Amino acid sequence: METLRTEHISRRLQIAMLVIVLSIVFISVPLIVSSYQNYVKSAEALKEIQMLKMVADLSNQISRERAPANSAMSSHGKQREEKIVELKQYREGVDQQYRNTVNTLKQKGFTPIAQQLESNLAPYLNKGRRTVDAYIALPREQRHAEQLDHAIISMFQAWDQSYIALQKLVNYSHGKDTQVSNYYTLILLLAELRDQAGRVASNIMAAVSFQQPIPEGNLAHTLQTQRQARYLWELIHVVQSEHDKTNEFSQLHNAVKTEFLDKGLPIIAGLVQQSTQQEPYSLDGTQLTDAMVDKFVTVVKLQSYILDYSLKVADDQKNNARDKLFFTLFLSLVSLLTAVMTMIYAKKWVFEPLIRARYQLFKLARHPQPPVALNEVNQKIVQNDFLSLFDAIHRIENMLQQRDALEFQLKHIANSDSLTGVANRFALDEYIKFRESQPSQFKQTTLIIIDIDHFKQVNDQYGHIVGDVVIQHVANQLRQHVRSSDLVVRYGGDEFLVLIEGIELDKAQEIAEIIRLDIQQAPLSIASEVPHLAITVSIGVTVGATSWISLLERADQALFRAKAAGRDQVSS
């Protein structure tokens, strides 16, 4: 009888050993599968960024073609023939890169993007080139500024198609969920900055070439482009993670500000001022192109660095994922072999001796023994052990509650402006992500931009403490005139955004006008030695757009019109 029991225990031991082995297998397989999937994603992300770099390079080449095209259209005489030859040579390089890009996209499995380039980019590029060539072929006496501006716009349209292809490639990418996801955004931002930098001079090229006043539409586009270039420059610094802000990145990023923003844009601003004051231009079209090319190089260098760096990061991520996969395989195999060897050892040197000992004990235990009860001391120890365990659990629960409360406070602080208490740009980013995930997106969104008039003079004359009081005053008035469901954001030093859902333009204008009047009329609490300040604001209002950038641009243009009309008013 005892032999049968011993055999039964041995079989149960074998079953337990098998369960342990299977448990290790069940744990290892998901880890191996997950590591393999991460490796596949990393490899796919590397391939996608390689394709993004190729399309971005093509987009940059097309954008850069405007420079030799502008030079050829603006030059004359012997210089004109030289510029035409340079343009032709540059186009050959662009065409070669276009063919290489399309073929590579098809080979790497990005056929829809290649078809996008073939069906949309190529026709627009050819159309733009025909327009440029037609203008170059015109005798000088038959040319006029509208023709030149039309040719420049045609080349812009070609770049727009390349940028659409770049966006689609990002949208269809699977690597956006990997650790290199922010580089997808950076590549798009840099392509946009590259183009905005090119448009700065092109917007006024026709007027400067013909020594004519800059049209109002081109003037507005020029100012907006300059503002957008500065905004993109700042946004790139925000998107780039602190870990990846190398010395080379910082130097190139600062070079864009030093050469392009601080030196190049003032050239455009000077020509705009000469136009508005009806003064002769200090540069002609060719000189303008030559002056901006050197300043523009810094933008190109920054973009090239980010593209190369993103490839390096993606390649490192792929190698890390591969190493992790191999390590997971190795660790799983070692764990399985260790478990098997441990169980074999335990069976032979632990359990089998214990079974034999058990058998011997049963043989010896022929006489029954009285049971041994727990004495009072042991019972008290057991009771105290339980009490200590529950006390520890209670303390952990309290710590977790404190952590949750602290986490909530930190999140509130991170999303609030410390001076005014309204939302900051981090909160705005969360709002934008939420709206982009909705079906209607920004089609029913009202955006109101409020800018404090002459705020720099307040800081210069009365100091930053009074300036802070003015900003708090404006923020308080904004909070009083919007619903709790609306979003008030401190967007810049003296600039605020109000986002409202589901109202019409006339209602939005009415709200903006009430805000403007109350900011002006509400008493301002400042030190008695500071005289009464008349605080006024300029407000831009817009309702509905296809994207956040479009909505912001339209509201910004409305704000510009309000300022241009004399400030202290609402424009839509």
Q: Could you give the number of structural domains in the chain?
A: 3
Are 496 and 545 members of one domain? yes
487 domain residue, yes or no: yes
DSSP code at position 416: B
Residue where one domain finishes, among candidates 393, 414, 435: 414
pLDDT digit string (tens) for 497-515?
999 988 999 999 999 999 9
Are 382 and 458 members of one domain? no
pLDDT score of 3 more than 60: no
Lowest mean pLDDT: which of 179-188, 208-217, 228-237, 333-342? Answer: 179-188
Are 409 and 443 members of one domain? no
- Beta partners for 538? 451
Structural domain that includes position 398? 370-414
Q: Show the DSSP H helices in 375-532 as ranges.
A: 376-414, 425-436, 455-462, 464-480, 505-521
pLDDT score of 404 more than 80: no
The better pLDDT of the pair 528, 572 is held by: 572
pLDDT digit string (tens) for 444-463?
899 999 999 988 888 888 88
pLDDT digit string (tens) for 96-145?
999 999 999 999 888 988 998 899 888 988 998 999 888 888 888 888 88
7 domain residue, yes or no: no
pLDDT score of 350 more than 70: no
The number of helix segments (H) and strand segments (E) in the chain equals 18, 5
**Exposure class string for 149-159: b at 16+ Cβ within 10 A, else e:** bebbebbbebb
Cα 524 to Cα 383: distance, rounded to the nearest angstrom? 67
Are 478 and 406 members of one domain? no
Kindly list the distances between the CA atom of residue 53 and the CA atoms of 157, 301, 333, 368, 549, in Å, as whole numbers in the listed order. 21, 14, 39, 85, 23
Question: Residue 378's pLDDT band (boundaries 50, 70, 90)?
Answer: very low
Are 310 and 375 members of one domain? no
Lowest mean pLDDT: which of 15-19, 149-153, 223-227, 408-412? Answer: 408-412
Kindly list the distances between the CA atom of residue 240 and the CA atoms of 179, 181, 183, in Å, as whole numbers in the listed order. 13, 11, 8
Overall average pLDDT of the 353-375 stretch: 55
Dihedral angle sign, alpha carbons of residues 96, 98, 102, 105: positive
pLDDT more than 70, % of the chain: 84
pLDDT digit string (tens) for 504-546?
999 999 999 999 998 888 877 665 555 667 889 999 999 988 8
The whole-chain average pLDDT of the chain stands at: 81
Residue where one domain finishes, among candidates 414, 442, 469: 414
Are 168 and 220 members of one domain? yes
Are 149 and 74 members of one domain? yes
Are 298 and 213 members of one domain? yes
332 domain residue, yes or no: no
